[in-house]
Amino acid sequence: MLMEESVQQKPAAEKEEIEDWTFEGVNLEEKKVTTRETRNILIILAVIVGIFLLTFGGASLYNKVTGGTVIDLEGLHSKNLEGELDEKEGYLYGEFSFVKADGLWWTEIMKNENTLLRIPLHFGPKELEEIKIEGLLSQKFNQGEDVFVAIDPNVADKYYSLAISELSFNMVKGMNRFPIGSCTTEDTICENRTIINCDTSQGRPTVQLASEGNQPRVQFSGTCIKLSGQGPDIVKAVDRLLYLWYRIMIE
User: How does pLDDT run across 148-169, given as a tens digit for each residue?
Assistant: 999 998 888 889 989 998 998 8
Which pLDDT score is estimated for 151? 92
Which pLDDT score is estimated for 188? 83
Element (H, E) at 105: strand 104-110
Which is nearest to 124 in space by CA: 148, 143, 104? 104
Q: How far apart are CA 159 and CA 212, in angstroms?
A: 12
Q: How far apart are CA 131 and CA 10, in angstroms?
A: 28
Which pLDDT score is estimated for 47? 54
Which pLDDT score is estimated for 44? 53
CA within 13 Å, CB half, 202: 4
Q: How far apart are CA 110 and CA 241, in angstroms?
A: 18
- Look up residue 21 and give its amino acid: W
Q: How far apart are CA 46 and CA 153, in angstroms?
A: 12
SS (H, E, C) 121-160: ECCCHHHCCCCCEEEEECHHHHCCCEEEEEECCCCCCHHH
Which pLDDT score is estimated for 50? 54
Helix intervals (H) in the chain: 36-55, 58-66, 73-81, 158-175, 232-245
Which pLDDT score is estimated for 62? 40
pTM, entire model: 0.79
Low-confidence ranges of the chain (pLDDT < 50): 1, 4-8, 10-16, 21-35, 37-38, 41-42, 52, 54-68
